[in-house]
Amino acid sequence: MPTYIVLLGPPGAGKGTQAGILSEKFKLPHISSGDIFRENIRNNTEMGKIAQTFISKGELVPDDVTVAMIRDRFKRPDCVRGAILDGFPRTPPQADSLAEMLREFGGKVDLVPFITAPAEALIERLAGRWSCKECGHAFHSKFNPPKTPGHCDFDQSALYQRDDDKPDTVKHRIDVYQQQTAPLIDYYKKGGILTEVNGFGSIEEVATLMNSIMCVE
């Protein structure tokens, strides 16, 4: 039976960072909807052009575009054992579509770690986030600096600061999260699969908490 873990939490909570650690540990693909959108924007695809108009304003990309993209990603063979989902779903209709897609593969969402952190921490984390142009891995100028300044530890590519990590866009993204994504907390609570994780510690401390709630093999 495949294993699907959905990481939930506001922008900057540490979803991508923890997803990377879980992906290594469980040898499951890390599927980041934001990374796939950014790859499409870089490659100037039709979907990338649509996504860019929303992402630059800190708005969500429409559900139909997002769901079609994830459906496509699930077709790749590395998903047969499951996946760590980071940033998808972000609305209740997306969560319904996910449940439907996973039923087709004989799976379901097994666990939803909900990572929390205070708003000031989110803003500080995103203001100092430096992302790899190639692999999307996120570093932080203060909390998680790369070994060589300006370069990714994993593929040595250049690091950059995302346009949507500017403080004004971040504040709007946190509002959008509260309005459109936070309803997923109750959605998954009702399913009995949501576990809250205090994300306001060091990356290692949060990883230890994540470990303690994993009951997948």
Point out which span in 9-17, 74-82, 100-108, 146-154 binds ligand ADP (CB under 6 A).
Answer: 9-17
Point out which span in 53-61, 76-84, 151-159, 188-196 binds ligand ADP (CB under 6 A).
Answer: 53-61
Q: Cβ of residue 216: shortest distance to ligand ADP, in angstroms? A: 21
Told to judge if 42 belongs to the known catalytic residues of this protein, a careful annotator would answer: no
Determine the Cα–Cα distance for residues 200 and 6; give it in Å rounded to an integer. Answer: 19
Catalytic residue, chosen from 38, 73, 125, 173, is 173
Catalytic residue, chosen from 71, 162, 171, 189, is 162
Q: Does 113 bind ligand ADP (CB under 6 A)?
A: no
Residue indicated by tokens 């939930």: 8
Q: Does 13 bind ligand ADP (CB under 6 A)?
A: yes
Q: Does 66 bind ligand ADP (CB under 6 A)?
A: yes
Q: Cβ of residue 67: shortest distance to ligand ADP, in angstroms? A: 9
Among candidate residues 153, 181, 134, 17, the one with its CA nearest the CA of residue 84:
17
C-beta closer to ligand ADP: residue 3 or 66: 66
Determine the Cα–Cα distance for residues 187 and 210; give it in Å rounded to an integer. Answer: 20
Strand arrangement, sheet containing 129-132: 138-140, 129-132, 159-160
Q: Does 73 bind ligand ADP (CB under 6 A)?
A: no
Give how many residues touch ligand ADP by CB under 6 A.
38
Told to judge if 103 belongs to the known catalytic residues of this protein, a careful annotator would answer: no
Token reading at 160:
């950059």
Determine the Cα–Cα distance for residues 164 and 141; give it in Å rounded to an integer. Answer: 17
Among candidate residues 90, 28, 100, 102, the one with its CA nearest the CA of residue 65:
90
Q: Which amino acid is at 186?
A: D
Q: Does 102 bind ligand ADP (CB under 6 A)?
A: no
Determine the Cα–Cα distance for residues 108 and 75; give it in Å rounded to an integer. Answer: 16
Q: Are 66 and 32 in contact (CB under 8 A)?
A: no
Query: Count of H helices and E strands in the chain?
Result: 9, 8
Told to judge if 108 belongs to the known catalytic residues of this protein, a careful annotator would answer: no
Told to judge if 173 belongs to the known catalytic residues of this protein, a careful annotator would answer: yes
C-beta closer to ligand ADP: residue 204 or 217: 204
Contact with ligand ADP (CB under 6 A): which of 3, 8, 9, 98? 9
Quick note: the x/- pattern for ligand ADP over 20-39, rule CB under 6 A, is -------------xx--x--
Residues tagged active-site: 15, 90, 129, 162, 173
